[in-house]
Structure 1
Amino acid sequence: MSNQGTTGNVIAAVCSFFIPGLGQLVQGRLIPAAIHFVLCSLLWVILMGWIVHIYSIWDAARWKPKT
């Protein structure tokens, strides 16, 4: 995957916009993807899932692989 701010991160952020955690999954980060998806799903029950949903989009857009 490319560096922060590249097309790959934009695609990941768009994926997370539609399904929380999908952007992290696209980037190959399985554990964060599962955490974002499960946490967002659980919190939507009490109408607070939008917080995790927005964080998931931000995290996918700002992620930078360790080199």
Structure 2
Amino acid sequence: MTGQGSGGNVVAAVCSFFIPGLGQLVQGRLLPALLFFLITAAGYFFWVLIIPAVIAGIFHLWSIIDAARFTVTA
């Protein structure tokens, strides 16, 4: 993928919008993808408790922003 703002980053951000961590997975970053997915899923699972739901929403938004801002460093 190319730098920030590239078409690949837009696709990754859209993927993370629908499934947290999917954008990171598309970019080949397995550990961040797994962490974003598990933390967000756990927060949404405990939806009845307000605080985890808010935390899940924050991590979901962070996942989208992280996928959009990722740049490859060589």
Which TM-score band (shorter chain)?
Answer: over 0.9
Q: State the Cα distance separating 1:35 from its structure 2 match.
A: 0.3
**Match of 2:72, as an amino acid?**
P
Gaps of 5+ in 2: 47-51
SS at match of 2:53: coil
Equivalence for 2:58: 51
Equivalence for 2:49: none
Gaps of 5+ in 1: none
Q: State the Cα distance separating 1:55 from its structure 2 match.
A: 0.3
Q: Determine which structure has more spread, i.e. the larger CA radius of gyration.
A: 2
TM-score relative to the length of structure 2: 0.86
Q: Give the total of aligned pairs.
A: 67
Dislocated runs of 4+, deviation >3 Å: none
Deviations 1:27-57 (A, max 9, x none): 0000000000000011112312111000000
- The Cα RMSD (Å) is 0.8
